Chain A
Amino acid sequence: MIECTHVYKRYKNGTNALYDINCSVDQGEFVYIIGPTGSGKSTLIKLLDGEETPTKGAVRVVGINVGKLRSSQVPIYRRNIGVVFQDYRLLPTKTVFENISYALEVINMKRKQIRKRTEQVMEIVGLNEKGNAFPRELSGGQQQRVAIARAIANRPKVLIADEPTGNLDPGKSDEIMELLEKINQTYGTTILMVTHDLMLVNKYRRRTIVLENGHIVADLPEGGYVRHDQ
């Protein structure tokens, strides 16, 4: 589903962000990417969602060589992946329903289908009663649920979650983790989750890739133990 082959990334300012990254993620896997600040996690995400291109090597997602896409092809490619951010990135002037359906509107889905699909994902994330609420009326955990609903509305094959629990207290983090596991297990969506929260990594044990200074220093199989100082 995801394959990185000898991937290097050097930015124009001379910063080397990634060195010889080799990894593959199978369909339906749930993988954590952890590592300290500046380890290359964000760069890896940017390569996966097509925002950046590798300096060397190939990044393949759902069989597409992302680095070879023309700029105009990137939006179409992105319909295969959902992205969730730490800061939710919801539109404050739109309701929960509108925030979710918006993701379907921009890909020109039919109105009737948008309604049906939005209601479905609101049900999945447990917000079917909050359709008319505005983001400011929701808790952080609920806002992140809306963001997840929006990310999966188009039924992407891959869901990238960039620090999805970064702004949440432990109780809410557990709720989000349980939701992500549900999506992974029920719909077979491949999930790549970047996190700093080692408590979560140890609690919900899954394959874990550890990045440091742009290198993969460990690729721990499912259930592997990660030290709290990593």
Chain B
Amino acid sequence: MISRSLKEGIRGVGRHWAMSIYSAAAVTITLFIVSLFLVLTFHLQRFTKNFESEVKISVMIGYDYEHEDVEAGIKKQIEAIDGVKSVEYKTKDEEFQFYLDQFEDERTRKLFEPFGEDNPLHDAFYVETNDGSEIQTIAGEIEKIEGVDSVNYGGQSTVDMISAMEAVRKFGAVLVIGLTILAVFLIQNTINLTIRARRDEITIMRNVGATNRFIRAPFLWEGILTGIIGSILPVGLSIYAYFLLYQKTGGILISNMFKLAPPQPYAYYLGGVLLAGGILVGLLGSLLSINKLLRWKR
């Protein structure tokens, strides 16, 4: 049964080869763009995650607060805020030592050491959040706590960068949805043509007792095959291009924060997703056509 319907499906693709090529080309273009946005989105997410995990809120405590108050009061209040993952406390002496440790050069360290006697730094908390997008809100909440002198989280630029990444993702999603609809529509039209060309045959099939499944199966194959044909180029080129990109960049873009995922297995997953996407688009196109033209009710 499968071999018969598959054969008929292949014949269907050949019967309207020009239309089949248009439809497959639409799938190809769509999948190329999907591929681009999949790579982009996946890595943006990866970069954002890296970025977010690096970003911490620094909370400076006012000079007039005693250590006991800080530990007992402010820390608990910060921890009670929704979305706070961890809170690390550092005294102003620890802060000063950390500052000094930044200098590798002994002479420079010696130059700054005298400032430790009248340490100008604050006691501070370093707050990690569960979700980078909540940084701004959580910082605002912390700022309201009594005893907090100032709050710093990299400021607006952090939030702007995260929201810019979001915007790119959303634009990509809209474009992909639009192109997918176009590809589905083209496949549907191609299969409509095949069904119309085989109308007499379908009537005869019904007369002699063919089940609906038997009649529909070849058209489903035709859609799936068109989807597969359309996926060949995007799948092949995406895998090749990703390996090449990884090889040429050594897997790192600009800095360590922007690391590409290793091509094995990522490139193959990408190929698999694209192929599945092509099949799904083809299947959807043929289902729409079949449900419109081959619905048989007494």
What are the residues of chain A within 8 A of B297 when measuring CB–CB? Answer: 71
Complex contact A107–B204 (CB within 8 A): no
- A154 in the interface (beta carbon within 8 A): yes
How many interface residues does chain A have, given as a range? 20 to 34
Complex contact B212–A72 (CB within 8 A): yes
Q: Select the stretch in A48-56, A117-125, A205-213, A215-223 that faces chain B.
A: A48-56
User: Main secondary structure on chain B at its contact with chain A?
Assistant: helix
What are the residues of chain A within 8 A of B296 when measuring CB–CB? Answer: 71
Complex contact B203–A78 (CB within 8 A): no
Q: Which residue of B lies closest to A147 (CB)?
A: B204
- B255 in the interface (beta carbon within 8 A): no
In the complex, what distance in Å separates the CA atom of A72 from the CA atom of B211? 7
- Given A50-B298, A105-B4, A106-B205: A75 touches B210 (CB 8 Å cut-off): yes
How close is B19's CB to chain A, nearest CB, in angstroms?
Answer: 19
- Given A89-B200, A91-B200: A106 touches B209 (CB 8 Å cut-off): yes
Complex contact B212–A78 (CB within 8 A): no
Complex contact B212–A106 (CB within 8 A): no
In the complex, what distance in Å separates the CA atom of A72 from the CA atom of B212? 7
Complex contact A107–B298 (CB within 8 A): no
In the complex, what distance in Å separates the CA atom of A150 from the CA atom of B297? 25
List A residues at the B interface (Cβ < 8 Å).
49-53, 71-72, 74-79, 83, 89, 91, 102-103, 105-108, 150-151, 154
List B residues at the A interface (Cβ < 8 Å).
1, 4, 200-201, 203-212, 214, 296-298
Supplied contacts A103-B204, A106-B205, 18 more A-B pairs, CB within 8 Å: A49-B207, A71-B296, A71-B297, A71-B298, A72-B211, A72-B212, A75-B209, A76-B209, A78-B207, A79-B209, A89-B204, A91-B200, A91-B201, A106-B214, A107-B208, A107-B209, A108-B1, A154-B208
